[in-house]
Amino acid sequence: MAIEFRNKPGLVIYLTAGDPDLATTREIALAAIDNGADVIELGVPFSDPLADGPVIQRASERAVARGVRLVDVLALLSEIRTARPQAGLVVFSYLNPVVRMGMENFCAAAAAAGADGVLLTDMIVEEAAEYLAAMRRHGLAPVFLAAPTSPEARLKAIAANSAGFVYAISRVGITGTQQQVAGDAGELVARLRKVTELPIAVGFGISNAEHVQAVGKFADAAVVGSALVSLIEQTPPAEAAAAVGRFVAGLAAGKGA
């Protein structure tokens, strides 16, 4: 298992696990993979998702109300791994659910489920020693967030401790769609290129094929989240996988436009 972007730019797709339900999330993930997604970020529902905008907040609230827990997300990831062995699979979570499970237990369970990597959105690299040690023991790739406001020393630390890819935030703030790719994104990627040879994925606000194409001019992959979560919210569950498949296929087709 490894995180790899087969085409440029690669596509990283974020899904809130359990919205609208776990079985539908599984079908949505498979449809996304089959239509061009290189990596699926499976979002663990959390009751206080401070870094997320209203679209993902609502999805998380719906999944939490359904009783979806971290162990359920890992079981879902295992099913996706079995069905699509080639896909990159990343657990995307806030720190709190992981702490409740226990860092060592979580890393062991994530590895056993078939995860390639983990992104803890509120885990800062300066306080990640225990986390990084547990990740290494279980062969998991830690993915860290780099922001336009990150000083050079912090970017170096993020680069030194990341594996798989580095997630470059296109702008400061919460997740959500936007009209165009923020100008800060290209500058941030250029700064990261000086300190790492890892692939760099750009996210926050990437919502259509034009954005993906724009990101592909300077980064290795684009992360699409809120636009997909919004589509799922607006689509009957029985039609969600097909709708997501079409959407992702459109993103993939636009890469070479």
Q: For 118-164, what is each residue's pLDDT tens digit? A: 999 999 999 999 999 999 999 999 999 999 999 999 999 999 999 99
Assess whether pLDDT exceeds 90 at residue 249. Answer: yes
Mean pLDDT, residues 237-256: 90
User: Residue-wise over 121-136: b if at least 16 C-beta within 10 A, else e?
Assistant: bebebeebeebbebbe
Contact 43, 60 (CB under 8 A): yes
CATH 3.20.20.70 holds for 10-140+205-254: yes
Domain ranges, ordered by start, for the chain: 10-140+205-254
pTM for this model (two decimals)? 0.93
Beta pairing partners, 43: 16, 92
Q: For 65-119, what is each residue's pLDDT tens digit? A: 999 999 999 999 999 999 999 999 999 999 999 999 999 999 999 999 999 999 9
Contact 11, 215 (CB under 8 A): no
Q: For 2-53, what is each residue's pLDDT tens digit? A: 788 988 899 999 999 999 999 999 999 999 999 999 999 999 999 887 777 8
* DSSP string of 46-115, one letter each residue: -S--TTS-HHHHHHHHHHHHTT--HHHHHHHHHHHHHH-TTSEEEEEE-HHHHHHH-HHHHHHHHHHHT-
Pairing status of strand 117-120 against strand 141-142: parallel
Assess whether pLDDT exceeds 80 at residue 190. Answer: yes
Beta pairing partners, 166: 200
Helix axes 103-113, 70-83, angle to 10 degrees: 20
Instruction: Please say whether the dihedral angle defined by the alpha carbons of residues 196, 201, 204 and 210, taken in this order, is positive or negative.
Output: positive
Cβ neighbours, 10 Å, residue 52 = 24
Would you please indicate which residues are annotated as catalytic (active-site) residues?
Answer: 41, 52
Q: What is the pLDDT of residue 7?
A: 81
Residue 126 phi, psi dihedral angles, 5° rounding: -70, -20
> Pick from 104, 111, 60, 69: which is nearest to 90 by CA?
111
Q: What is the pLDDT of residue 173?
A: 44
For the record, the structure tokens of 165 come out as: 């890819």
Q: What is the pLDDT of residue 181?
A: 55
Contact 25, 241 (CB under 8 A): no
Return the SS3 of 21.
coil
